[in-house]
Chains A and B, each alone.
Chain A
Amino acid sequence: MLTCDNYHLPTNLPEALAIWSNAKTGSRLVSGATDILPWAREGRAGDVHLPELIDVTRIAELNGYSFENGRVRLGANTVYQDFLTDQTLMRSLPCMPFCAIWFADDQIREQASVTGNLVNASPVADGTPAVVALNGEIELTRLHDGSVVSRQVPVVDFIEGPGKTQIAGDEIATAVILDTANGYGGSFQKVGQRRSLVISVACSAALVKADRDGRVFEDVRLALGGVGPRPIRMSEAESVLRGERISHALIERAAQTAADTVGSRSRKEYRREVVVNFVRAALEDALANQPEVQVDFADAKEKTHA
Chain B
Amino acid sequence: MPKLQIDAEVNGRKISREADPHARLLDFLRDELNLTGTKEGCGAGECGTCSVFVDGKLVKSCLMPVAKVSGSRIETIEGLAKPGDLTPVQRAFHKTGASQCGYCIPGMVMAATSALRENPQADIEEIKERLGGNICRCTGYTKIFEAVEIAKAVIAGDMPETALEEDSVEDSYIGANVRRIDAPSKVSGRLKYAADMKMPDMLQMQVLRSPHAHARIVSIDTSAAEAMDGVACVITADDVPGKDGFGVFVHDQPIMARGKVRHVGEAVAAVAAEDLVTARRALAMIRVEYEELPGLYDPADALKPGAPVIHDYAPDNLVKHIPVRKGDTQKGFAEADLILEDDFGTQQVEHAYLEPEAGIAYVDPDDVVVVISPSQNITHHRHMLAEIIAKPINKVRFIMSPVGGGFGGKEDMIYQGMLALCAMKTHRPVQLNFTREESLIASAKRHPSRVHYKMGLKWSGQITAIEFDMLSDGGAYGMSSEGVMRKAAILSCGPYEVENLSVDTRGVYTNNTPSGAFRTFGGMQAQFATESMMDMAAEALDMDPFEIRRINMMKIGSSTHTQQTLETASLDRVLEAAEIASRWEKGAPRVRGAERGDLNGPDTRKPCTLGARIKNAAKDDAKTTERVA
* Closest B residue by C-beta to A293: B628
Contact B610 A7 (CB under 8 A): no
Given contacts A33-B68, A53-B65, contact A4 B21 (CB under 8 A): yes
Asked if A266 CB lies within 8 Å of chain B CBs, one says: no
Asked if A5 CB lies within 8 Å of chain B CBs, one says: yes
Which residues from 52 to 92 on chain A have a C-beta closer than 8 Å to any C-beta of chain B? 53, 55, 57, 81, 84, 90
A111 contact from B2, B59, B617, B627, Cβ within 8 A: B59
| CB of B282, distance to nearest CB on chain A (Å) | 12
A208 to B617, CA, bound (A): 20
Contact A84 B614 (CB under 8 A): yes
Asked if A24 CB lies within 8 Å of chain B CBs, one says: no
A3 to B437, CA, bound (A): 18
A89-132 vs B, Cβ < 8 Å mask (1 yes, 0 no): 01000000110011011111011000000000000000000000
B68 contact from A6, A57, A101, A292, Cβ within 8 A: A57
Contact A84 B58 (CB under 8 A): no
On chain A, the residues within 8 Å of B46 by CB distance are 197
Count of residues in B whose CB is under 8 Å from the partner chain: 49
Asked if A37 CB lies within 8 Å of chain B CBs, one says: yes
A111 to B600, CA, bound (A): 38
Contact B68 A102 (CB under 8 A): no
A38 to B43, CA, bound (A): 7
A4 to B22, CA, bound (A): 6
Asked if A235 CB lies within 8 Å of chain B CBs, one says: no
Asked if B571 CB lies within 8 Å of chain A CBs, one says: no
On chain B, the residues within 8 Å of A38 by CB distance are 43-45, 63
A57 to B613, CA, bound (A): 27
Asked if A268 CB lies within 8 Å of chain B CBs, one says: no
Q: Of the 9-residue stretches A39-47, A147-155, A225-233, A243-251, which lies at the interface with chain B?
A: A39-47
Asked if A277 CB lies within 8 Å of chain B CBs, one says: no
Contact A55 B68 (CB under 8 A): yes
Given contacts A7-B4, A41-B44, A107-B48, contact A97 B59 (CB under 8 A): no
Given contacts A3-B277, A6-B2, A55-B67, contact A34 B610 (CB under 8 A): no
On chain A, the residues within 8 Å of B96 by CB distance are none
* Closest B residue by C-beta to A102: B610
B210-226 vs A, Cβ < 8 Å mask (1 yes, 0 no): 00000000000000000
Asked if A18 CB lies within 8 Å of chain B CBs, one says: no
| CB of A103, distance to nearest CB on chain B (Å) | 10
Asked if A182 CB lies within 8 Å of chain B CBs, one says: no
* Closest A residue by C-beta to B110: A107
Which residues from 1 to 38 on chain A have a C-beta closer than 8 Å to any C-beta of chain B? 1-7, 9, 30, 32-34, 37-38
Asked if B423 CB lies within 8 Å of chain A CBs, one says: no
Which residues from 21 to 44 on chain B have a C-beta closer than 8 Å to any C-beta of chain A? 21-22, 24, 43-44
Contact A55 B65 (CB under 8 A): yes
> Which of A3, A42, A105 has most chain B Cβ within 10 Å?
A105
Contact B614 A37 (CB under 8 A): no
Asked if B70 CB lies within 8 Å of chain A CBs, one says: yes
| CB of B145, distance to nearest CB on chain A (Å) | 15
Contact A106 B130 (CB under 8 A): yes
Asked if A196 CB lies within 8 Å of chain B CBs, one says: yes
* Closest A residue by C-beta to B42: A38
A9 to B64, CA, bound (A): 13
On chain B, the residues within 8 Å of A34 by CB distance are 45, 60, 63
Contact A107 B59 (CB under 8 A): yes
A32 to B59, CA, bound (A): 11
Contact A30 B65 (CB under 8 A): yes
Which of B's residues lie within 8 Å of A, judged by CB? Answer: 1-2, 4, 20-22, 24, 43-46, 48, 51, 57-60, 62-65, 67-68, 70, 111, 114, 129-130, 132-133, 276-277, 280-281, 284, 435, 437-438, 441, 608-611, 613-614, 617, 627-629
Given A37-B44, A105-B48, 13 other A-B residues pairs in contact with their CB atoms under 8 A = A5-B2, A6-B21, A7-B65, A34-B63, A97-B611, A106-B132, A107-B111, A108-B60, A108-B63, A110-B59, A111-B59, A195-B609, A196-B610
